[in-house]
Structure 1
Amino acid sequence: MSRLRPWLIDLALVAVAMADVLLDEEYTSRVEFAAACVACAAVLLRRRFPLVTFALTLPASWMLANLAAPAIALYSLAERTSNRAVLWGSVLATAIVAATPWPPGHPIDQRGIIVTFAYSAAWAGAPVLLGQLVRTRRDLSARLVEIEQARDHERQLHAQAVLARERAQIGREMHDVVAHQVSLIAVRAGALQVAATDPEAAEAARTIRRLSVDTLEELRHMVTLLRAAGGQGTELTPQPTLADLRKLLDSSGIEVELHGELSEELAAPGQRTIYRTVQEALTNVRKHAPGATATVRLWHDGDELGVTVTNTAPTRPAMTLPSSRHGLVGLAERAELLGGSFESGPTAEGGYRVALRLPR
């Protein structure tokens, strides 16, 4: 069954609030009836302006004993804010207003005021607690979804790392064993072609040597593909370059701004190092800074160039997730191999910053 539309729910709540006022028939003046109507109509604002809705129900709570509109306003406020000072201040305001005599000048019964205040405070606390319970349940559901997505991402990264290691192992075996043996075949066939006196034997040796050379070329191509790291899914793809950076940002799952640019004529190792630095930094933002945004800045200055990735402070607590803790170490090693430097650390605003610097 599909969920009801929000505006239908709001109209139904307005009808409940109006029924509460009309059935009690406690209003005796136009002022009281107007306050009741304002309180009921304010329910329509509860989604966008819950605090305003609550404030508009206070006059009716003072003049009348209606319960529906104030309860709806308190629940909506609690379901949409986590500010406890505002929530319990609203409960206190409701209790004070309900305990204040109406109309003004009415004889004051101190004992009755105290009893009314205590009852009203207990009654107002119920919708607040219910709203907080619903909010907590919704937040927990969202966190569970986020945790599952993070785990799926971790599993994908692990699967890609395993696949890359297997490709590298196969590539090494093909290079060290198969290619070596095919090279020997080509050398022996060349020697046989030179030494053969029979024309047919010489032709056969020449054919074997040509096929061996072609096979070596194919093996070199296959080894290059097998040693290529990363890539989406299980397909064999070339190493990433700066041209693939925009695709990486779009698929990162977080809000990222890209500033600056670098020439795509930069050497392939430098392009791969910059790409891997951005990739690792965005992965860490997703894992350790939920809700944060990131800024990627490409720069070049004289004889140096590099990239800086900075993220804002997280908006939600980070969950403890499995991590090899080798990502930043690997980036520093990549930078060192190219004669550059790598720095990382927290920012004064509560975020994190990684910076890669390479010689041109």
Structure 2
Amino acid sequence: MSTTTHVRGTVAAGYEDVLAEFAAVAAEEDEPGAQLAAYAGGRQVVDLWTGDGISGDSLHALYSSGKGAAHLVVALLVQDGVLDLDRPVAGAWPEFAAEGKGGITLRDLLAHRAGLIGVAGGFTTAELADDRLLARRLAGQRPYWRPGTGYGYHAFVIGALTGEVVRRATGRTLQEVYEERVRAPYGLDFYLGLPEALEPRYVPVRPLPPGQRALAAANAPAADSLTGIAFNLNATPPTDLVAFANTREVRALGPASAGSVGSARGLAAMYAAAIGALDGREPLLKPEVRAEFTKRHSVGADLVTGERDHFLLGFEAQARRYPFLGPDAFGHSGAVGAQSFADPRSGVAYAYTRRRFAFGGGGGAAENHRLAAAVIRAATR
């Protein structure tokens, strides 16, 4: 048990340095709320939290962390033979063929190569909250670049695009398949659609301090740039990510791209289940399917974020950000500064959540470098 007043929770023997690093982050950052959880070899080895009113059961807005759950569902359906990565999307979704998109495959979508990052004039909050509405708008949209010639982060829409393929193939929404195949069997505290009964456990996102907010506004990308379009800054008004996550309708519908809610415990357990035995069950992903989804599919600079070699298949390439991970480490960050991944080489599943919004709304916050490195060192010592 922690011996510091800033941090609560437990670590397994040999993980004391992780506790010390998390306590240092909490003190240095004056963190108003964060959680850290990790599994190694299917066993939980880290379960820590900090902040007034925060517990290990607190539920945070985790934004794009939901893309990890969405693409785990897609991988499972590919594994089942229900989905084919190289089949044109329009084969299952005929309306998608409009504006020259008939040749785009599911693999192209997952690799962020489709060019469907947004629409002229942006989306309303109601559309961003509902994957069905997003898919309907995107079906008739002309790509912002010729599909396959480049790739760029489909920030608000990738879950709706792949989710519509799932719905057309199975008759079930991606959120329903996730609930039935992944969340419910393991009792994961990680949701694509938060039940109203769990709302009291939700901890609202805390906005940037005024000074950082002004700086972020001054450095915001142009609304008509690819970055601005992908993050819905071309809408009137532009999307406020803090207000978006703190909207009940968003949490209730659980849009797969940006509306996930959960705890570090739930998120880490999901990745632990993906790569190893957990709760007496076999790994969710077979080795050959995991190998396919963890190949580097998109190389060079991301046209939206500028990040190099950003994606595997659906998942973010974690070794690019954290060189101490294996080349097939896969996961996804979230705009609040959250980070989560599975590292098959070390057998580690990692998740970090926090209450304070990340400066500029970027992916995993900087402290993840220190925290993840400490976990990997302990697991491989």
Is the TM-score greater than 0.5? no
Q: Which has the higher contact order (CA 8 A, sep 6+)?
A: 2
Per the normalisation by structure 1, the TM-score is 0.25
Greater helix proportion: 1
Pair member with larger Rg: 1
